[in-house]
Amino acid sequence: MPTNPPLTARPSREVDLAARPASMRLPLHRCALVVVDMQHQFCSPGGLSHESGADIGLARRAIEPIRRLLSAFRGHGLPVVHTREGFLPDLSDCPPLTLQRIQRDGQPLVGQEGPLGRVLVRGEPGHEIIPELAPAPGEIVIDKPGIGTFARTGLEAVLREARIDHLLVTGVTTDVCVHTFIREANDRGLNCVLVEDACASFDPQLHAAAVAMTLQQGGLFGWVADSGAVVRALGETPSAS
């Protein structure tokens, strides 16, 4: 469960956001930026992804767009939610299938010692968010025991209490944790904008596929925009309602 201060209500204001499949009216007073799993284990040398042979340079492409979005959201006093994937030290909250993964090509297993401490264990160096995108005081940090973010975390209650129903989603990886977040949010009646250049995958084809899946059937899972469009929208003079 999150231990951060609750998100607070904000004055009503809306901006136009250039997006696909169609532009949208974004209610900033009901909006939050979500940064998914920008942790050392996925983005830094010595982390799980790097040790597994993935090109972490692909993941790190999302850093600068996310940093620009963080600056814009913080500058407008808008809420930010960070997520971290990881498990309790005794692994009691780790899904059984995750524990049963077969070690392949020297890939570290969850809970084993690695260059950044025990892999995907809370409190270890590799579990922390990279310093370029470190949470600011008062921002919500959700520790999630798996790929999805809504199960066993309390995030939905936090968003409902703050009357937030529009989420700009960023982070890694587009095809796994990010798209799982969007699908789960969609089933809860939450509107998601996938910020395309502020997300990344270790396989560019899977990144493109996740974007396409979001847009299928006229935006089945939400909207897609780029970070520049979001920053420009936030730079507009907001309208009161």
Q: Domain map of the chain by residue range?
A: 27-99+108-235
Q: What confidence tier does 4 reach under pLDDT thresholds 50, 70, 90? A: low
How high is the pLDDT of residue 99? 77
Annotated active-site residue 144? The verdict is yes
Strand partners, 225: 195
Q: Is 110 exposed, middle or buried (0-12, 13-18, 19+ CB in 10 A)?
A: middle
d(CA 5, CA 195): 26
Is 55 considered catalytic here? no
User: Which of 31, 43, 143, 144 is an active site residue?
Assistant: 144
* 35/5: higher pLDDT: 35
In the three-class reduction of DSSP (H, G, I as helix; E, B as strand; rest coil), residue 16 is classed as strand
pLDDT of 68 reads 98
Active site residue 192: no
Confidence of residue 6 (pLDDT cuts 50, 70, 90): low
**pLDDT digits 0-9 by tens, 25-66:** 999 999 999 999 999 999 999 999 999 899 999 999 999 999
Q: How far is CA 60 from CA 29, 66, 208, 210, in A?
A: 30, 10, 17, 18
Report the SS3 class of residue 133: helix
For residue 40, give the DSSP letter. Answer: H
Catalytic-labelled residue, pool 37, 143, 175, 197: 37
Q: What is the DSSP letter of 103?
A: P
What are the tens digits of pLDDT across the range 99-146?
776 455 556 689 999 999 999 999 999 999 999 999 999 999 999 999
- Amino acid identity of residue 149, one-letter, is T
Q: What is the mean pLDDT of the chain?
A: 92
**Is the predicted pLDDT of residue 3 greater than 70, yes or no?**
no
Catalytic residue among 31, 43, 94, 177: 177
Read off the pLDDT of residues 144-194 as tens digits, 9 standing for 90 and up: 999 999 999 999 999 999 999 999 999 999 999 999 999 999 999 999 999
User: How much of the chain, in percent, has pLDDT values that exceed 70?
Assistant: 90
pTM comes to 0.93
Assess whether pLDDT exceeds 60 at residue 1: no
At residue 241 the predicted structure's pLDDT band, cuts being 50, 70 and 90, is very low
Tell me the CATH number of domain 27-99+108-235, given options 3.40.50.850, 3.40.50.360, 3.90.600.10, 3.20.19.10.
3.40.50.850
